[in-house]
Amino acid sequence: MWRPSTRLALLAALAAGLVALPVISLGLTALSREALAVWPHLTANVLPAALGDTLLLLAGVAAFCGIVGVGTAWLVTQHDFPGRASLEWLLVLPLAMPTYITAYVYVEILGFQGPLQSALRALTGYRSLRDYWFPDPRNLTGAILILGLVLYPYVYLSVRALFGMQSAAIVESARTLGASRWTLFRRVGLPMARPALVAGLTLALLETLNDIGASEYLGVRSLTLSVYTTWLNRSSLPGAAQIACVMLLVVVGLILAEMHTRGARRFALPVKRLRPVGRSRLPRGAAWAASAACTLPVLLGAILPLAYLIGEFLRRDLIIQMDAAMLRSLANTVAISALATAVVVVVGVGVAAAVRLGREPWLPSVARLASLGYALPGTVLALGLLVPLAAFDNLIADASRAIFGASPGLLLLGSGAALIIAYLVRFLSIALAGTQSGLARISPRIDDAARSLGAGRRELLRRLHWPLARPAIAAAALLVFVDCMKELPMTLLLRPLNVETLATLVYGHASRGVFEDGALAALLIVLIGIYPAIMLARAGNGERLAAAS
Amino acid sequence: MSVKSRLYAAALTSCLLAGPAFAQSVNLYTTREPALLNPVIEAFTKDTGIKVNAVFLKDGLQERIKAEGANSPADVMLMVDVGQINQAADAGITQPIQSAVVDKTVPAALRGPGNNWVTLTQRARIVIGSKDRVKQDAITYEELADPKWKGKFCIRAGQHPYNNAFFAAYLARNGAEKTEAYLKALKANTARKPGGGDREVARDILSGQCDIAIINTYYIGLMSKATNEQKSWYEAIKPLKSTFAGGGTHVNVSAAAIAKNAPNKDNAVKLIEYMLGEKAQHLYADGNFEYPVNAAVKEAAAVKLLGALTPDTTPLGEVAKNRKAASELVDKVGFDN
């Protein structure tokens, strides 16, 4: 029997192989002879505009998430102001909103018959848009703001965790040296936040890159959308694969930038109990300004859209939508997401443990490869997986017919296992990164100490790493769960007969142009997502406690 | 495994494996939304005792059936765009539909090559105008390019399949050069960036953002029945009799095909024949204000609302063939930028 670390290394290699599967199948498609014929058209007419729009979108979302995420994280960890304790976790809430739902809600709220324009007309006596100008969210700026509002919590969460764990000594020294609050933020806070900022931004930008629902609805012609139109309108999967490869380059760029920023620095914490930073009390005006600054993102990112959905729910008596089919898709959604989360977390922890304990020099690269799935657009990934998974299914079905005279049908695709595999490939990086960040805070010197006391690898994992990294792993698990629940394109393509989830239900109605028929399902997605989001915010606190204990 | 995850696993297994209690079944892969299909499916099961297992897919239905290959459970596929169904036939994942009922009910022009697919309903893509601000009651599609509509024309994304098929029809009639000029002129007339859905163009007419727009006919019907603010969108617009110059109205279809490796082929034929019957045509077409393909169906909701349809004579196969070129032209003129 192999040693545990070897078994873990094998698991890591297997996971990386699974992630590589769609990438390879994508690459092969992109290089086919038919594909080479499409390339000139793409470079001349599609890529310049799509790449430009995508880069603008990414830059805008990065700026928005960076400013809002870091700013609010600094305020809630360093200062005291009215409502701070609630805002600390409320700021995570927008994460529960799927981007496509927020986009829809904002188009309604800001629309001609929305509350704002109606009030304006009632006040002024104007009658139509020919009489006045009103901001329209259906453009690049609108998309940046809306995606930013939903995605800033990625930055907030990671930066807040970092601020919360800094030794009080640094901040206090700076204060003693007479640094003003602003100088403190600029000279101490920002440099400290950089690695966490980059990590959070990477997640937010990958989500942006993958988004299809919101950007299509808001009329942004992103690379992802171009993948779709090339594939569907021109029946050119190879062309789509090429655009997807360009996207992959953008992603690799993002990841390289992250690694570069992280550099050789290590962020392991000392073992001894950390004294939390004492929050400074703000003068009255500044305190209220801080409250307002932290309330605004929560209000716009979560409360307003949620209130709108609930308002529609009440106004239209949408409770009648709660029928047997709705309950079934609710059960499907929770069951599939929970099962997928369990699988993703187990594999993620396994790979992270392999990297931590293994001696094989190739392990870090393998782990990085296993993280790539998050960067692929859902549909492209699902298409890439479809071929190998179906081939496997057919192999089993044919063999079983030859041997037993009966076929079980399509094993993976027919049972929903294919969907779980797709979630694994897509979301593994969340569990992996979560576990690794948890492990990174445990100094290797502790490992050495435990070893010298005679602890084996298994014991090291069980008695040291697991308890210390558990909060980080739990937080990652919650993120994976929410993401699985919201996931649309892969679910749509890979689920078995007669299975609907809440997301496919919403999509079915929205694509008929009657979003309101799916409003209850949308509300359920948000409500189920809120609980994990709150847990996530709490887990951030718990992490601090765990590290301190 | 904790108790909780065990429970989840059990729940999942029961969700996924709950087998049908029917002796007979037929498996349906559809890009048509379930809410529109369910009434017909329920009636079919009630009348025939054959259970329908359905999966609603959107993009990638074809790729999935192709990948599933010889063991694919798919019997019938339903699609809502002539380009897509034609492409499925081209990809070799369909088989000829052998049915006297189909041959008798549906004119050959509305069936695919070698009977590889069959039209179930038709929908037209027409021009609507503001009731207050547009005087004329008829228009040619060519006229939309007239500079008099500058800053007054609204349309969803040019790459959307509905527009793509419309531009492909234009291309089939007029050739690449004229189509490119047409797209440029249309783009120059737009009041806002092409985007959103079909219904939103009606809202934008109500709000005064535009005067004239392109929409699929069934959306007009659905808005007319709406109980929310969409009713006011409907009331702000009027359908214009829309034709190609010297031709008819642009139509697209919802269509069905039988999968090449259908395990329940007989039931597949039964389902398609059922959907062409008068009862199902009423249920299926009227539910979404589409034009029934079965000529025996009288008083269809779409006809009552919008009058009889004079489809353009360009064969649907030609439209499908020009889709790719049309899509490239849309990119070339930067229609969606």
Cβ burial of A111 (10 Å; 0-12, 13-18, 19+) is: buried
Nearest CA in chain A to B161: A233
pTM of the predicted model, to two decimals?
0.82
List residues bridging with B118 in a β-sheet: B111, B256
Residues 82-101 in B contacting A (C-alpha not used; CB under 8 Å): 83-84, 87
Q: Is B161 close to A111, i.e. CB distance below 8 A?
A: no
Q: Which amino acid is at B157?
A: A
Nearest C-alpha of chain A: how many angstroms from B50?
Answer: 15
Which of B68, B199, B217, B231 is the best residue to mutate to test the A interface, defined by the most A CB atoms within 10 Å of its own CB? B68
Q: Is A332 close to B15, i.e. CB distance below 8 A?
A: yes
Decide: B302 and B291 in contact? Cβ < 8 Å: yes
Q: Which amino acid is at A243?
A: I
Q: Is A219 close to B157, i.e. CB distance below 8 A?
A: yes
B66 vs B259: CA distance, rounded Å: 10
A229 vs A113: CA distance, rounded Å: 31
Q: What is the pLDDT of residues A303-331, one digit of tens each?
A: 999 998 888 888 877 777 788 888 999 99
Residues 6+ apart with CB under 8 A from A367: A12, A16, A351, A352, A354, A355, A432, A436
Nearest C-alpha of chain B: how many angstroms from A368?
Answer: 28
Q: Is A339 close to B9, i.e. CB distance below 8 A?
A: yes
Tokens of A361: 């020099």
Which of B1, B27, B53, B59 is the best residue to mutate to test the A interface, defined by the most A CB atoms within 10 Å of its own CB? B59
Residues of chain A with Cβ-Cβ distance to B190 below 8 Å are none
Q: Which amino acid is at B87?
A: Q
Nearest C-alpha of chain A: how many angstroms from B104?
Answer: 31
Residues 6+ apart with CB under 8 A from A124: A132
B200 vs B195: CA distance, rounded Å: 9
CA distances from B332 to A23, B329, B335 (A): 29, 5, 8
| A385 CB-side CA count, 13 A | 29
Residues of chain A with Cβ-Cβ distance to B84 below 8 Å are 232
Decide: A441 and A269 in contact? Cβ < 8 Å: yes
Reported as type and span, the H/E element at residue A367 is helix A363-370
Q: Is B195 close to A138, i.e. CB distance below 8 A?
A: yes
CA distances from A321 to A185, A499, B37 (A): 50, 18, 17
Which of B159, B164, B218 is the best residue to mutate to test the A interface, defined by the most A CB atoms within 10 Å of its own CB? B159
Q: Report the SS3 class of residue B21.
A: coil
A287 vs A278: CA distance, rounded Å: 16
Tokens of B274: 């059922």
Reported ipTM: the value is: 0.78
Q: Which amino acid is at B212?
A: I
Q: Across all residues in chain A, what is the average pLDDT?
A: 83
How many residue pairs bridge chain A and chain B with CB atoms within 8 Å of each other? Answer: 187
Place of tokens 């609507």: B128
Decide: B269 and B255 in contact? Cβ < 8 Å: no
Q: What is the pLDDT of residues B204-241, one digit of tens each?
A: 999 999 999 999 999 999 999 988 888 999 999 999 99
> In A24-94, which ranges are E strands?
79-80
Residues of chain A with Cβ-Cβ distance to B331 below 8 Å are 41, 45-46
B274 vs B291: CA distance, rounded Å: 17
A230 vs A241: CA distance, rounded Å: 9
Report the residue from B34, B203, B219 with minimal CB separation from A112. Answer: B203
Q: Report the SS3 class of residue B95.
A: strand
Residues of chain A with Cβ-Cβ distance to B27 below 8 Å are 497
Residues of chain B with Cβ-Cβ distance to A512 below 8 Å are 33, 35-36
Q: Is B323 close to A234, i.e. CB distance below 8 A?
A: yes
User: Which of A429, A494, A426, A492 is closest to A21 using CA atoms?
Assistant: A426
Q: Report the SS3 class of residue B26.
A: strand
Decide: A510 and A460 in contact? Cβ < 8 Å: no
DSSP string, B174-206: HHHHHHHHHHHHHHHHBSS-S-S-HHHHHHHHH
Q: What string of pLDDT tens digits covers the 549 residues of chain A?
A: 456 678 888 888 999 899 888 888 878 878 877 777 777 888 888 888 888 999 999 999 999 999 999 999 999 988 899 999 899 989 999 988 888 889 988 988 888 888 888 888 888 888 888 888 888 888 899 999 999 999 999 999 888 877 876 666 777 777 788 778 788 888 877 887 787 888 889 889 888 888 877 887 888 888 877 877 777 767 677 777 888 788 878 877 877 777 776 654 555 554 445 556 678 888 888 899 999 999 999 999 999 999 988 888 888 777 777 888 889 999 999 999 999 999 999 999 999 988 888 778 888 888 888 888 887 778 778 888 888 899 899 999 999 888 888 777 888 998 899 999 999 999 998 899 888 878 877 778 888 888 888 888 788 888 888 888 887 888 789 889 988 998 888 898 899 998 999 988 888 887 777 777 788 888 898 888 888 878 777 765 544 433 333
Nearest CA in chain B to A104: B196
